[in-house]
Amino acid sequence: MAETIDAHHHLWRYSADDYGWISPEMEVLRRDFVVRDLDRELRDAGIDGSVVVQARQSVEETRWLLEVAAEDEAIRGVVGWVPLASAELPGVLREFADCGKLKGVRHVVQDEPDDDFILGEDFNRGVAALVGTGLVYDILIHERHLPQAVRFVERHREQAFVLDHLAKPRIRDGILEPWRENLMRLAEHDNVSCKLSGLVTEADWGYWSLDDLRPYMDAALEAFGAERLMAGSDWPVCLVASDYGRWWETLREWAAGMREADREQIFGLTAKRVYRLG
């Protein structure tokens, strides 16, 4: 039986200054979430390993996540932050070159005031520098950024990409287009994979069900196929709408009618292949 991998979660030591995006409505997130909390959730939900993803745009946090991962066997990989648009990038990449658990990097493009940030020359120069390092680039955007993301990946055909959270479709409003069409265009590029994560926070936090999520999950499966889809929790952010166990129960219910081979891809093999997890 293939291992189950949570391909997307976070850890943090909370402070209001560092996590200003955590609004009063997200009160449940205003505390530390550390590795002992993670290990309990993984064990209770039957998850074998995980990929921890940056939540702050700092090299300091990347170093901390790598230190935590080095001490915890369940954390198979780290997607950190590096200054992609900075002249400091080569030195930072050299610093992390021997960190075997650093599997990818991410920039919080969704929060950039310029919707075309992902097309900027300095940023793209940094992404081009990832080729040959083995590092994946995680794309964190909103639905409206998908057309730019298509142009972006076309510039980097040798780079492996993972789209986080299906680009945050408007699930709460039940709107599929043009998100679905643009997702299909992005999926035409076979160097792009996609995470089934972060969906409950785009739905109605208090009243969502699998029926609300299913059209978006089905569209992702149609676009990418099981071999380029991976399951993730977005824990602890998901806690504003779902506990950890309920999310995995929802994913398993959605996938129940699939071939076993496809379930194994989505629940672990895709993540292990794309991120080169041990």
Q: Which two tokens stand for residue 262?
A: 């496809």
Contacts of 229 (CB under 8 A, 6+ apart): 193, 194, 195, 196, 220, 221, 265, 266, 270
Question: In the prediction, which pLDDT does 2 show?
Answer: 87
Question: In the prediction, which pLDDT does 265 show?
Answer: 98
One-character DSSP codes across 176-230: -TTHHHHHHHHHTSTTEEEEE-S-GGGS-TTT--HHHHHHHHHHHHHHH-GGGEE
CB 176 within 8 A of CB 169: yes
Question: In the prediction, which pLDDT does 177 show?
Answer: 98
pTM of the model: 0.97
Closest CA to 125 of 167, 155, 168: 155
Residues of the chain with pLDDT > 70, as a percent, come to: 100
> φ, ψ for residue 184 (rounded to 5)?
-60, -40
- Exposure of 58 in the CB half-sphere (CA atoms within 13 A): 10
Counting as low any pLDDT under 70, the low residues of the chain are: 1
Q: Report d(CA 228, CA 276) in Å as an integer.
A: 14
Q: Report d(CA 153, CA 99) in Å as an integer.
A: 26
Question: In the prediction, which pLDDT does 1 show?
Answer: 65
> φ, ψ for residue 249 (rounded to 5)?
-60, -40
Cβ burial of 98 (10 Å; 0-12, 13-18, 19+) is exposed
Q: Would you call 6 helix, strand, or coil by DSSP?
A: strand
Q: How many CB atoms within 10 Å of residue 155?
A: 12
The superfamily (CATH) of domain 5-274 is: Metal-dependent hydrolases (3.20.20.140)
Q: Which two tokens stand for residue 190?
A: 């076979």
CB 59 within 8 A of CB 81: yes
| β strands within 102-170, DSSP E | 102-107, 136-139, 161-163
